[in-house]
Structure 1
């Protein structure tokens, strides 16, 4: 969609011609004097620009709109864009609000101050036609943590993804995490739901919502909850490093790695791995790649994901974390072929 800004620039019209000498000059001068106003012609320029992404002066991501459009959408202008003709508009959805704008943020009421417990709030999402995935980026997320792996106090759930999607229920600390939601076979409604208990805690969340269509460069393989495309990076289980740092129960999702030309296998260096039995019998708590399972309690350990096809690491946990296992945190490196 194009936003249109109208700028009026007043210039001198080039309608005055050189006058002859003598009487013709006198007559021309008189005519010029009597018609002076007609010699100054206002010129209007129509400036158009795309409503594309922009970097707000606040450090957030926004969308380039005219000031009037931003005000109409209930957004907050933060810096300029389109060579100063537009504003970088930051859009937020809070308690029981809805948004159809790409790049909106779902935030707690009066972010960053915490909302008063207990509460049950949602942010509704209305993606445009042709959207096949929704990317959630947890720029800030801190809720009451789990009890033996169960989110018994606070919960964050996603509603509306494709039937059969295994979207984890979250609690604890998940700042820096992300999720891709497949919605190509769902009519919604799509909601991000936060439920807060009466537990006294300084909660906050700020989740960026991005719509992805079939041609979007960030589109992931379907059924990949998390996706990494850089040659090096890091990942961790949800709520790793939380308070308490515990693996969440009932997890079943895939961490996928994109194809990068010139790279094949992927080396994983875990700086903490605490998941499943320590006797070699992984049971129902483990990570797996192509049938190879990893479980146990390690301060550091390594593994390698072989490039025999699309590369993914699948995470499984059951409904019991009596040992209060921490989960995992790792750095990865794609290796040259």
Structure 2
């Protein structure tokens, strides 16, 4: 499926019903306009198979995001509702984002609802390059992906990414 409009939702087939079909679901996010450089993915709801005992998504459902520049996010599995992710799309007007769910087995009640927002290059609403999570409020809580399940299941392994915070005294200045 291809999406070009800003503020679009990616939904599992038959949403809000759970999706039990194995295989892949791939979404192509095309830039709404040529000067888009960053996408923010708000995972309103996202529940996939939990990671294995080593915290890995191997032989499990997972979400992976890539760009034409070769940037690939860490694999996400488990429960990631209410988290967000920033992904650098790239400055080339024809660059796009590829969001792929790899789904294993038929027993899992999996579902996703992800809001995709696109931001122009240089906007003060986006973090510096390389920040996958970006927080701008004066207070709040931040967690690593799948953290809600960390008591019952192993925390996700191989999470090598940056979490960034905007200094409120300079909220109108892009760093």
Q: Does 1:247 find its partner at 2:155?
A: yes
Q: 1:206 maps to what in 2? A: 113
Structure possessing the higher radius of gyration over alpha carbons: 1
Alignment of 1:111 onto 2:15: yes
1:132–1:182 contact (8 Å) kept in structure 2: yes
Q: Residues of 2 paired with 1:215 and 1:248: CA distance?
A: 32
After TM superposition, the runs of 4+ consecutive aligned structure 1 residues lying more than 3 A away are 185-189
In structure 2, what is the equivalent of residue 141 of structure 1? 46
Q: Deviations over 1:148-180 (max 9, x none)?
A: 2111210100021644x4511100000111111
Note the 1:1-337 alignment, pairs <5 A.
97-127=1-31, 128-147=33-52, 148-152=54-58, 153-160=60-67, 162-163=69-70, 165=71, 167-185=73-91, 187-242=94-149, 244-261=152-169
Contact 1:159–1:190 (CA under 8 A) maintained in structure 2? yes
- Distance in 1, matches of 2:170 and 2:37, equals 29
Q: Is the 8 A contact 1:161 1:181 kept in 2?
A: no
> For the structure 1 residues 171 and 103, does the alpha-carbon distance in structure 2 shift closer, same or farther, using more than 3 Å as the test?
same
- Equivalenced residues, count: 167
CA deviation map 1:103-149 (0-9, x unaligned): 00111011110123212111111112001101111000000010021
Residues 262, 105 of structure 1: CA spacing in aligned structure 2 closer, same or farther, 3 A cutoff? closer
- Specify the SS of the correspondent of 1:194: strand
For structure 1, the 5+ residue unaligned runs are 1-96, 264-309, 311-337
Measured on the aligned residues, the alpha-carbon RMSD in Å equals 2.1
Instruction: Provide Cα deviations, 1:226-253, integer angstroms capped at 9, x if missing partner.
Output: 1111110111111112284322122111
SS in 1 for 2:161: strand
Which one has the bigger strand percentage?
Answer: 1
Comparing both chains, which one has the higher relative contact order based on Cα–Cα distances under 8 Å and sequence gaps of 6 or more? 2
In structure 2, runs of 5+ residues without a counterpart are none
Q: Distance in 1 between matches of 2:28 and 2:50?
A: 24
In 2: Cα distance, 1:213 partner to 1:119 partner = 33
DSSP-derived class of the 2:140 partner? strand
Q: Distance in 2 between matches of 1:139 and 1:203?
A: 14
- Please give the secondary structure, in 2, of the residue aligned with 1:191: strand
User: 2:48 touches 2:77 (CA, 8 Å); kept in 1?
Assistant: yes
Secondary structure of the 2:115 match is: strand
Aligned to 1:47: none
